Structure 1
Amino acid sequence: MAQNQLKPIRKKKLGNYPHTMVIFSITLSLFVIGLFGILLIHAGKLSKIIKESIEVQVYLDRDLTQPQLAALKKTLSKKEYIAYKEKEAQVRFFSKEEGAKEFIKESGEDFLTFLGENPLRDAYILKINPDFSESNQLKEIKSDLENIPGVFEVQYVESLITSINKNLQKLSIILISFAGILVLVVIILINNTLKLALFSQRFLIRSMQLVGATSYFIQRPFLNRATFQGIISGILASLLLMGLLKYAYYQLNELYVLRDELQIVILFGCLIALGCILGFFSSYRAVKKYLGMSLDELY
């Protein structure tokens, strides 16, 4: 007799639909966009490092006294285009004796023995602020430096810097364009995922509407759940990306130099916010659509 008793049928609650699939889909979508975001962050850091390595050689007039050299260094350090590291201007003195030693080491020939004197000049090596790394800006910097008393000549590898700037500009355009397309695809994917998840609830929505429930009362549980799913998905995607980053840094130690912890934290925050916002608005659009459909259109 007990065996023949029917099990009680669980009633469907408003807003109660399988959420594992939804969380998995949203997490995967956010993970993909987060992965590309990390690529952008590392590419941006690499671009900054390349620009920070730009150097300008300022060759000096001969026989400058120590006070003149010190005054010249002070003048150079005050220029707005000079890079700073830990509040110290990146201006390094490179004597002609150091230049001679370096030349002899690289070429294996001691030119001092047959020339009898050192024909090289003292120089200051300047690191340029990345904000002034464009080719036209460097030309202006060269012109400005050559007008300083005590400066004989200013040199930098113009062709290499022009090539670097062009390649970095092309790479930035490609990455930003691809990022825009990827964000659009993710938005559509999350929207369709929630729309399909709510499809099974369309008759329950209609039933609640027929018994006099307000639109707000019907929408609220769906919006709450979708928002919660978006937050959970953003957190899961961030955790997966964090694990992937740690593994990548462990396998490639050189990659660790390109990290930017602040931007990565901001990216994780954006993923959580994006999941929350997309979940809310996608659910809102889907429920509103079913509320406005006729009974025949629901089938």
Structure 2
Amino acid sequence: MSSSYEKFKKRRLITSYFSVVLSIFLVLFLLGILGLFFLNSKKLSDNFKEEIPMTVFFKNGANDSVMKAFAQELKTARFVKNSVFVPKEEAAKRESEDMGEDFMAFIGENPFENSFDIHLNSAYIRNDSIKKIEDRLKKNEMISTVNYDKVLVSLVNDNIEAASMWILYASIFLLIVAVLLINSSIRLSIYSNRFIIKTMQMVGATKSFIRKPFIWRSVLLGGIAAVLAVAALVASLFVIDENYPKLNIVQDQLMTGLVLLGVIVLGIFITWFSTFFATQRFLNLRTDDLY
């Protein structure tokens, strides 16, 4: 009978520890994801900005020397990240593939112009900067038109700052929720041992002596949850880097390491803090209040 009871208590204790570790792990993992996302928000926004193309079309009278001179100019321009020359024959071929038929057979000539697809550096994807670049390019008499999505540029610049602020607010909110959830899990764990705490106190044990094993146990559980959260975050980073290599999300090792270290420190600190005050609360209660 006593053996069955001991096994029941042991299973119940393991279940309690598992629930505490799981709750701390989930909260720390979400915090870590938000922290990494916030630190890389500029990189993400820059990458999105640099995907917005600017297309420069040349008049049919522009010869190869004009194209080569312009290509060389783009290589030395600070506002250019990369550029690709698109011959009008290739543009017509793409259009035919998109339409599923050879449209040139109907019109009898190629209506397209030679062009350059230019991707600008993110610092220049602003309404004023990109307008100056457009005016500069149009000074070339052989350029017919310069096209880019003006509406998209405006939307990107208007919304990225707002999105960054919302991410910051969400991180602060989740941090508060994390503290409350972890604190609740720890307090429930301590609550199940309230009679042991009071019994130890009644036989003369000091408060620090009583708190010590509970604090060490909680810190250990918090450390395990933090390590698991860090492992999950590292795995997530490699998955993101494999699927989106342009972001170079694992290249900034210092900031990434600081976030991961912060997750571990936060997991240990919150569990220590919560356990200290939870045990202190039951130490200060009268015996009758335990019920």
- Per the normalisation by structure 2, the TM-score is 0.65
Q: Compared with structure 1, are the counterparts of its residues 286 and 51 closer, same or farther at alpha carbon in structure 2 (3 Å cutoff)? A: same
| Deviation of 1:139 (Å) | 3.5
Partner of 2:79: 81
165-174 vs 228-237, which deviates more? 165-174
The whole-number CA distance in structure 1 between the counterparts of 2:106 and 2:68 is: 28
Q: Compared with structure 1, are the counterparts of its residues 187 and 145 closer, same or farther at alpha carbon in structure 2 (3 Å cutoff)? A: farther
The whole-number CA distance in structure 1 between the counterparts of 2:123 and 2:20 is: 41
- Quick one: which amino acid aligns to residue 257 of structure 1? N
The whole-number CA distance in structure 2 between the counterparts of 1:292 and 1:80 is: 68
Are 1:110 and 2:104 an aligned pair?
yes
The 5 A counterparts of 1:17-166 are: 18=13, 20-31=15-26, 34=29, 38=33, 41=37, 50-60=48-58, 63-64=61-62, 66=64, 68-83=66-81, 90-103=82-95, 106=99, 108-110=102-104, 120-135=112-127, 137-147=129-139, 151-163=143-155
List gaps (5 residues or longer) in structure 2: 7-11
The whole-number CA distance in structure 2 between the counterparts of 1:282 and 1:129 is: 48
Match of 1:257 among 233, 243, 250: 243
| Structure 2 residue matching 1:192: 3-state secondary structure | helix
Q: Compared with structure 1, are the counterparts of its residues 47 and 30 closer, same or farther at alpha carbon in structure 2 (3 Å cutoff)? A: farther
The whole-number CA distance in structure 2 between the counterparts of 1:168 and 1:153 is: 29
- Quick one: which amino acid aligns to residue 243 of structure 2? V
| Structure 2 residue matching 1:53: 3-state secondary structure | coil
Q: Please tell me whether the aligned partners of residues 83 and 118 of structure 2 are also in contact (alpha carbons under 8 angstroms).
A: yes
| Deviation of 1:270 (Å) | 4.9
Q: Please tell me whether the aligned partners of residues 93 and 125 of structure 1 are also in contact (alpha carbons under 8 angstroms).
A: yes
| Structure 2 residue matching 1:80: 3-state secondary structure | coil
Partner of 2:188: 196
Q: Compared with structure 1, are the counterparts of its residues 211 and 145 closer, same or farther at alpha carbon in structure 2 (3 Å cutoff)? A: farther
Match of 2:224 among 224, 232, 236: 232
Q: CA RMSD in A?
A: 4.8
- Quick one: which amino acid aligns to residue 27 of structure 1? L
Q: Please tell me whether the aligned partners of residues 22 and 193 of structure 1 are also in contact (alpha carbons under 8 angstroms).
A: no
The whole-number CA distance in structure 2 between the counterparts of 1:151 and 1:122 is: 10
Q: Please tell me whether the aligned partners of residues 187 and 278 of structure 1 are also in contact (alpha carbons under 8 angstroms).
A: yes
The whole-number CA distance in structure 2 between the counterparts of 1:292 and 1:198 is: 14
| Deviation of 1:202 (Å) | 4.2
| Number of positions where the alignment pairs a residue of Structure 1 with one of Structure 2 | 271
The whole-number CA distance in structure 2 between the counterparts of 1:291 and 1:131 is: 59
Q: Please tell me whether the aligned partners of residues 241 and 249 of structure 2 are also in contact (alpha carbons under 8 angstroms).
A: no
| Deviation of 1:46 (Å) | 7.5
Partner of 1:13: none
Identity of aligned residues (%): 26
Q: Please tell me whether the aligned partners of residues 94 and 123 of structure 1 are also in contact (alpha carbons under 8 angstroms).
A: yes
The whole-number CA distance in structure 2 between the counterparts of 1:136 and 1:26 is: 52
Partner of 1:184: 176
Q: Compared with structure 1, are the counterparts of its residues 64 and 256 closer, same or farther at alpha carbon in structure 2 (3 Å cutoff)? A: same
| Structure 1 residue matching 2:80: 3-state secondary structure | coil
| Deviation of 1:206 (Å) | 5.2
The whole-number CA distance in structure 2 between the counterparts of 1:196 and 1:283 is: 10
| Structure 2 residue matching 1:155: 3-state secondary structure | strand
Decide which structure has greater helix share. 2
The whole-number CA distance in structure 1 between the counterparts of 2:193 and 2:210 is: 11
The whole-number CA distance in structure 1 between the counterparts of 2:18 and 2:232 is: 14
Q: Please tell me whether the aligned partners of residues 31 and 241 of structure 1 are also in contact (alpha carbons under 8 angstroms).
A: no
